[in-house]
Amino acid sequence: MEKLSVVTGVAAPLERSNVDTDQIIPAVFLKRVTKTGFDDALFYSWRQDPGFVLNQPVFQGAQILVAGPDFGTGSSREHAVWALRDFGFKVVLSPRFGDIFRGNSGKQGLLTGVVPEEDIEKLWAAIEAQPGVEFTVDLETRTVTVGDLTVAFDIDDYTRWRLMEGLDDIGLTLRNESDITDFETRRESWRPTTLPARAQ
């Protein structure tokens, strides 16, 4: 996983709330078995509309998405993160995220920063005043800067550290392998096992 500390890039506004993962990537794209190449699927339905924000030339190559509250609610599909990442986004800012989406993001190197609604509106205003303007998102200081405007975003310490170090989850856990083995030796015999299969 790539280390991430400062992202400077074009910010695109998504002035909608409750953007669920079905909108981020419709279920039909979940049939793929690869882990990359989902850029064409991002916001598939909305992108059929030529007026949709990400179809506007000024927002091509955007790396920062500024969204309304409750971004990434609904289905657990991690493809939503892959689609955002493959499209080029490194950061999503919103007043509130769906829990599973946010967890998935941290593991894939996509920064999800919680920004109070009034500040999101200021960021939207900055983009509206100057479409295509670049934001600087600094994970070290947990701030977003555009021109004279600097607003803070919230991210927990652990996810921030993980993103900054570019650390793989499984490798981290396997440092505790002896604890896992100890736990397994204590596991009660009534707890479920799938093998050997028992018939009805």
To the nearest whole angstrom, how small is the minimum distance from the Cβ of residue 91 to another protein? 19
Interatomic CA distance for residues 117 and 194, integer angstroms: 47
Interatomic CA distance for residues 157 and 3, integer angstroms: 15
Q: Which amino acid, residue 151?
A: V
Interatomic CA distance for residues 194 and 91, integer angstroms: 40
Decide if residue 113 touches another protein (CB under 8 A).
no
Interaxial angle between packed helices 79-87 and 99-107, expressed in degrees from 0 to 180 and rounded to the nearest 10: 60
To the nearest whole angstrom, how small is the minimum distance from the Cβ of residue 106 to another protein? 9
> Residues with Cβ < 8 Å from 159, sequence gap 6 or more?
106
Decide if residue 128 touches another protein (CB under 8 A).
no
Decide if residue 17 touches another protein (CB under 8 A).
yes
Q: Which one among 28, 51, 57, 148 touches another protein, defined by CB under 8 A? A: 28
Q: Which one among 5, 55, 69, 86 touches another protein, defined by CB under 8 A? A: 69
Q: Which one among 75, 91, 146, 153 touches another protein, defined by CB under 8 A? A: 75
Decide if residue 86 touches another protein (CB under 8 A).
no
Decide if residue 122 touches another protein (CB under 8 A).
no
Q: Which one among 47, 107, 122, 142 touches another protein, defined by CB under 8 A? A: 107
Q: Which one among 8, 32, 129, 154 touches another protein, defined by CB under 8 A? A: 32
Q: Which one among 14, 53, 63, 77 touches another protein, defined by CB under 8 A? A: 77
Interaxial angle between packed helices 157-165 and 99-107, expressed in degrees from 0 to 180 and rounded to the nearest 10: 30
- Binding residues for another protein, rule: CB under 8 A, are 16-18, 20, 22-23, 26-28, 30-35, 45, 68-70, 73-79, 81, 96, 98-100, 103-104, 107-108, 117, 156-158, 169-170, 172-174, 176-177, 179-180, 183-184, 187-195, 197-200
